[in-house]
Amino acid sequence: TKLVPQIACPHTVDNVKPIDEVKGKKLNQIVIGSCTNGRLDDLEAAAKILKGRRVADGVRMLVFPASWRIYHKAVDLGYIQDISRAGAVVCNPGCGPCLGIHQGALADNDVALATTNRNFKGRMGNPKAEVYLCSPATAAASAITGVITDPREAEIKAGALI
């Protein structure tokens, strides 16, 4: 069998499903990175998908490089510019959104898709929100469409899947 992208669904990292079972779920927020998952290759994957495109209306996208070293390297390689021009907010490196202690805190009934490492009830600051976990490519493709999207399915063009 062929491995397909996987999504960890609320409210535990063990609640994993193939992307086909959750694609199309409307999203309020996308988070790429943090202290655990803001590697240079994560930013590269997102930048390649976002370059020349826009984050969907009504979707917040936050990107957290894991360290200042990674941030500066991503600037040098043009990844930060591509991510920012797409409409994402590039935040200071390190922790924050997972715990809901600053940028990225969710409101009641918000649905977030994140590349972070935990999605327990109450993560990202609100027990009445849902947090799904995914790869950077899935997060970036979903940011463009505004719904959980399989990044392999179709070309992403002019801000929409075709």
Whether residue 144 is contained in a domain is answered as yes
Domains identified in the chain, total number: 1
Whether residue 117 is contained in a domain is answered as yes
Question: What is the structure's pLDDT at 154?
Answer: 54
With cut-offs at 50, 70 and 90, classify the pLDDT of residue 152: confident
Whether residue 102 is contained in a domain is answered as yes
Parallel/antiparallel/unpaired status of strands 111-114 and 29-33: parallel
**Three-class SS state of 39:** coil
Parallel/antiparallel/unpaired status of strands 156-157 and 160-161: antiparallel
Question: What is the structure's pLDDT at 71?
Answer: 96
pLDDT at 37 over 70: yes
**Closest to 62 measured CA to CA, from 16, 105, 21, 99:** 105
Q: How far apart are the first and last CA of the chain?
A: 27
Parallel/antiparallel/unpaired status of strands 130-133 and 156-157: unpaired
Nearest-angstrom CA–CA distance, 136 and 44: 9
Whether residue 128 is contained in a domain is answered as yes
Q: Is the dihedral of CA 76, 5, 63, 162 positive or negative?
A: positive
Whether residue 14 is contained in a domain is answered as yes
**Unique residue bearing structure tokens 């409307």:** 26
Whether residue 1 is contained in a domain is answered as no
| pLDDT single digits (tens) 53-108 | 999 999 999 999 999 999 999 999 999 999 999 999 999 887 767 666 767 777 78
| pLDDT single digits (tens) 10-35 | 888 899 999 999 999 999 999 998 87
Question: What is the structure's pLDDT at 160?
Answer: 47
| pLDDT single digits (tens) 119-140 | 767 676 578 889 899 999 999 9
Whether residue 11 is contained in a domain is answered as yes
Whether residue 127 is contained in a domain is answered as yes
146-161 mean pLDDT: 70
- Residues 131/15, Cβ–Cβ less than 8 Å: no
Nearest-angstrom CA–CA distance, 33 and 141: 15
CATH number for the domain spanning 113: value is 3.30.499.10
Question: What is the structure's pLDDT at 109?
Answer: 93
Range of the domain at 116: 6-161
